A and B are shown apart, each in its own frame.
Chain A
């Protein structure tokens, strides 16, 4: 039996369910549209890329009689072509519009998902201030009555554009040139940013630029790159911001005090990451205190941060933590150990099924997996 078969037998114990797909092109994007479909998009620089709206197999959505649904395939519900590589894609909620960002980074592309056919068509562009060829603006969407697109490659170029009128409704209006690594809309008036240096901030768009942020040189002094994600916003006290560094450090922060992380742990990952731009940390929508990280290699690691509060060893160094679960499917099913090992480009949690994740790699594979919590009581 080859190692792939061996792992498959192992997987019977490790996963409730497991699907593996081969896309026509690798994606760095996994964006949900309702809980039944995702968007993926290619990022090749020399040829046309496809944007696809994929409907998940029906059995992932039904609650009863799952056994009667034999279909295990994705259905391509819509598709479109892009000449540019796409590094970020956001769906504008309650509309049929998408906004994408890629290289060259001088504009954002707005797309429309057709209703009467299966085409995704480019409809307009949004110009950006910072016309740097090598940086692409991060994008987030305010899903208010009049949707607004938040974008920027650097702090000084942060703006919110009203999608319909194309008027600028907010600008950071600062001269700070720090490079952004992620943007996240939290509610109608608030967004969070994370710079590549590890600097984090929460911005209220009703005021002139005055973010709650951490300015201490704590993280990011060794040239690492950082990304962050805010978890359940406005749902009680406790650390709800996770920040991940390319050296494997994972910090949990309370928004009320960004300067002092609640906990700071070291994840057992191979460092440095081959492409720190691919780092991703996400909170599980259905599991308390659970996080997933990826971007270091071909795995996705799931952690339970419940017991991490104030985690620090006696000598003050960060303590090592062990993942609750490690998804190795991309290495065994696709890698075969011969080609250069695959690298996970992105991952996301299923909005409704607590332990189901999707993960994609640079060799165009896409997995949907439902891991078994071996520690939980049966």
Chain B
């Protein structure tokens, strides 16, 4: 049997520093299986530091041999950005699990990222388009709540995480030991995504992001209000608002918000949705609809159009129209395409505004203007002066302290592990979790290993015959007194049974061996051996009130099933030898009697 008793987890973090900039890459060893959770890119670095350091794993051999699988939680680059590097340049051929939307969206973002890094920044040693394709061929897509057998011992299951389209939390299970990895999640529903949810799966360990664990979030309403205010103020003064978006989901949510507001305020300013977005819409429709909520589904009809009253399809020519308007356009980081075109036209007017809804990768125009740059060098050495207002709004949803407590409360793990990139100690949060939720809490630093002992429970079936026999012994079971039960453990076909020895022998076709031990106790006694035996009998009878002590006709004494016989050795008439004999089953009693008798017999009354 393979090392019963304690399993253990080991966790190594390759996280990054800072809040919006970081990367996730976690290695978990559970009951002999090795799983990599996420494979992110650190966006703050331009050199090899942006990739996780896999050398400490590979020093013992190939990654494919070492890892049982890789799991990607969602399409954000700080969770999947290093995947092609990892699978094609470092080398991994095993399965990569992710949800269907993640599988569809990842390659697009990876390709965008590659284009920016290589074409715009001229970087070498970056993964190629072909590598992205080859990497995605290794992907196995999973559905929510579907138990996926990675091999005959390791299984995984995805749970809805909110946060972004297709984001999932994963449960990894080997036998009775399990780990849940949350990735990024959100506990408050927004207009297009629901809240994360998990059942009371009681994993040994829950691994969760803690970057936002020490925040208390501003309410959704106030964030929306901020967005509406910015848009409203700009159009009121006759300006144009550009909102670069990546894809559906977030964009659609903002549209719903504006639509409701426009209706309420009876506004006539046009709102447009770029065609690039609606084309992608049909493509993703089948994928993302089950992942969003009812409201979103209602606004989408299976034509190339969203069903909005005030929002219309955009035409390039509209960008030159005078007067206020709002335009949603792709791509999201202003690095190419329609959004960049519109930006160039509108940037020179201070009445206009661009609202960046998320993090932009280094090298993009989005990143530059968010860093405060106001003069941009475009193609052909043209300098663009940015006079329009630049607003950075964070719409992506993360769980804060309250959300983490909620999720831990839902899953009921034994221990919680918080992943964070900063070195500062979060002692207060650790105490709070431990006190309120009664779980152990770990907060390792980057590169640190955490080992958690677990006591897996192994179910064993006990045969009825064995139980009946124990009951027949007459003594009632006591909760506080452990009873010694003799049986044979048979392990066959991942099944454990406890049966009586006879049954086991029968099943295995073996004959039983009897073991009997005999011990010699020397007693000082000048009388005959029969009298010694009698003395022994009297002594034991008076001392052992709970046991059945008998003096047999042949002179021997029995204590239960232990046999005592007195003999006289020829060498020394003053010494008698007591032979104490017992079966293997009566070891305890036999040893006890032997020690007792070695102390000697009480003086016989003369």
Contacts and interface: CB of A to CB of B under 8 A. Distances in A.
Q: Does A associate with B in a complex? A: yes
Interface of A: 1, 4-6, 8-9, 11-12, 17-24, 48, 50, 54, 57, 65, 67-81, 116-120, 333
Nearest to A69: B392
Q: Which 5 A-B pairs have the closest CB atoms?
A: A79-B428, A70-B394, A72-B218, A20-B219, A67-B391
B428 A80 contact: yes
Q: For chain A, what secondary structure do more than half of its interface residues adopt (helix, strand, loop), or is it mixed? A: mixed
B216 A118 contact: no
B216 A74 contact: yes
Contacts of B228: 9, 12
Interface of B: 19, 212, 214-219, 221-226, 228-229, 232, 260-261, 264-265, 370, 372, 389-394, 400-402, 424-429, 431-432, 435
A23 B216 contact: yes
B222 A19 contact: yes
Given A12-B228, A12-B232, A67-B392, A118 B427 contact: yes
Contacts of A24: 401-402
B392 A72 contact: no
Contacts of B224: 8
A118 B225 contact: no
B428 A78 contact: yes
Given A9-B265, A67-B391, A70-B394, A19 B218 contact: yes
Given A19-B222, A73-B215, A76-B216, 11 more contacts: A11-B225, A12-B225, A21-B219, A22-B219, A57-B218, A70-B392, A72-B217, A72-B218, A73-B218, A117-B424, A118-B424
B221 A4 contact: yes
B425 A117 contact: yes
Contacts of A72: 217-218, 222-223, 226, 394
Contacts of A70: 392-394
Given A68-B370, A68-B392, A118-B429, A333 B221 contact: yes
A118 B426 contact: yes
23 contacts: A1-B260, A11-B225, A12-B225, A18-B222, A21-B218, A22-B402, A67-B391, A68-B391, A71-B19, A71-B394, A72-B223, A72-B394, A73-B216, A75-B214, A76-B215, A76-B428, A80-B428, A81-B431, A116-B425, A117-B424, A118-B214, A118-B425, A333-B219
A264 B156 CA distance: 71
Q: Which of A5, A20, A78, A80: most chain B CB closer than 10 A?
A: A20
Given A24-B402, A79-B428, A68 B218 contact: no
Nearest to B389: A67
Contacts of A22: 216, 219, 402
Q: Which of B216, B228, B229, B426: most chain A CB closer than 10 A?
A: B216
B362 to A, nearest CB: 16
A341 to B, nearest CB: 19
Contacts of A73: 212, 215-218, 400
Contacts of A69: 392
A5 B257 CA distance: 11
A30 to B, nearest CB: 14
A72 B223 CA distance: 8
B222 A20 contact: yes
A207 to B, nearest CB: 44
B566 to A, nearest CB: 71
Given A1-B264, A12-B229, A75 B428 contact: no
B429 A79 contact: yes
